[in-house]
Amino acid sequence: MVNVTEDVFANGAVNPFTKSKDTIKRFTLTNGAGMSVQLITRGATITSIKTPDASGQIDDVTLGFDDLAGYQSEKNPYFGATIGRVCNRIANGSFYLDGKLVEVSKNRDNKFQLHGGFVGFDKAHWEVVEVRGDGVTLSHTNPDGHEGYPGKVTATASFTLSEDNCLHVQMSAVADKTTPVNLTNHSYFNLAGHKSGANGLYEHTIEINAYGITETDQSSIPTGRITPVEGTGFDLRVSSNLGERLKALQPARGYDDNFCVTFSPPQPLAKVARATHPPSGRWLEVVSNQPGVQFYTSNFMPDVERGESPIPGKDGAAYAKHGAFCLETQKFPDSVNHSNFPSTILRPGESYQHEVIYKFGVSH
């Protein structure tokens, strides 16, 4: 049996849209197999995923904070949040939509937009639509003109836990004017345990079912070209040790790339990636209906070797460079400026539907 409980994560949180003081609710989803997931209404954010290892030892395998102040801090690199209206990057914060120039906010170095702008969906206080026996559905209404985007968008994020240790996340949206929409979940995983840092990460193996990556410039803005992974350091189609792959990538800081997922034969859902942590036996498989996945190895978390202070995380954790990985299912970054990429444009009367399943297990 899956069980859902609700409690208060924080009181008196200032809503960035309405300026009212809100209660941030927390939901805990627990199944009979020893897995639990916690999420909060601020940013429809996953704050914890606890799963057993091969010996039955339960640990939290996703990064986060103990309190609201952590999530509100400038140091928070979008831990666990639902990202929108458009995740990833928009070059120059501008694009043409039906022949008309749209200019959105540029929240990165005043050069481009990242993850929806200064106040993205990750900072919104989502409404509770439904609490079910096995999960919860949250909703956010994003006003017309917010961060420069046309149209009001009503988005929902549904989180469901199954008895077989699958976390199903369903993101949907409708709009009253034509606008781009590209949502993702930005959970940071470390199957060795959220506190285990780079040493834990380097023990993982990774496999990504992708035929190419979207080539990018030095600001990680796509050029429009898709580079086949064959014969490159981005060919992760066969499971291999992540620590060794990161060493081989040097001088690059690590992976921060959109991988183009192989859907063959054509199917509604494709296996996107599989990560394993052999010492604990834990594995994570990601399945999705999205054409891309951003594989990110936390390259821009603080570099303690260079004297940078780690991010103070939950349970006394100290998060630093290479301390976790993200597998952000998405349409390709900057699609609004590349007609050869899958379209992110949502028109009135249409429905955006994004399904992703995170399946956890152990190998004995």
Mean pLDDT of 254-282: 95
| Candidates 186, 194, 338, 354; catalytic one | 186
pLDDT at 250: 85
Kindly tell me the burial class for residue 117, based on how many C-beta atoms sit within 10 Å of its own C-beta (0-12, 13-18, 19 or more). Answer: buried
Binding site for beta-D-galactose: what residues are annotated?
88-89, 186-188, 256
Mean pLDDT of 299-308: 96
74 DSSP 8-state letter:
T
- The model carries a pTM of 0.98
The three-class DSSP label of residue 111 is coil
Is 184:344 a contact under the CB 8 Å cutoff? no
Domains and CATH numbers, the chain: 3-362 (2.70.98.10)
Place of tokens 């079910």: 132
φ and ψ of 248, to 5 deg: -65, -25
Binding site: what residues are annotated?
88-89, 186-188, 256
Q: Is 328 a catalytic residue?
A: yes
C-beta atoms surrounding 363 within 10 Å: 11
pLDDT at 219: 85
Q: pLDDT category, 266, cuts 50, 70, 90?
A: confident
Is 61:80 a contact under the CB 8 Å cutoff? no
Between these two residues, 220 and 359, which has the higher pLDDT value? 359
**Digit-coded pLDDT (tens) for 68-91:** 999 999 999 999 999 999 999 999
| Candidates 322, 328, 338, 354; catalytic one | 328
Sequence-separated (6 or more) residues with CB below 8 Å from residue 337: 90, 91, 95, 222, 224
Q: pLDDT category, 149, cuts 50, 70, 90?
A: very high
Helix count (H) and strand count (E) of the chain? 3, 29
CA–centroid distance for 218 within its chain: 22
Q: pLDDT category, 364, cuts 50, 70, 90?
A: confident
Q: Which tokens hold the place of 99?
A: 């022949």
Between the two ends of the chain, the Cα-to-Cα distance in Å is: 24
DSSP letters spanning 181-195: -B-EE---B-TT-TT
Q: Is 285 a catalytic residue?
A: no
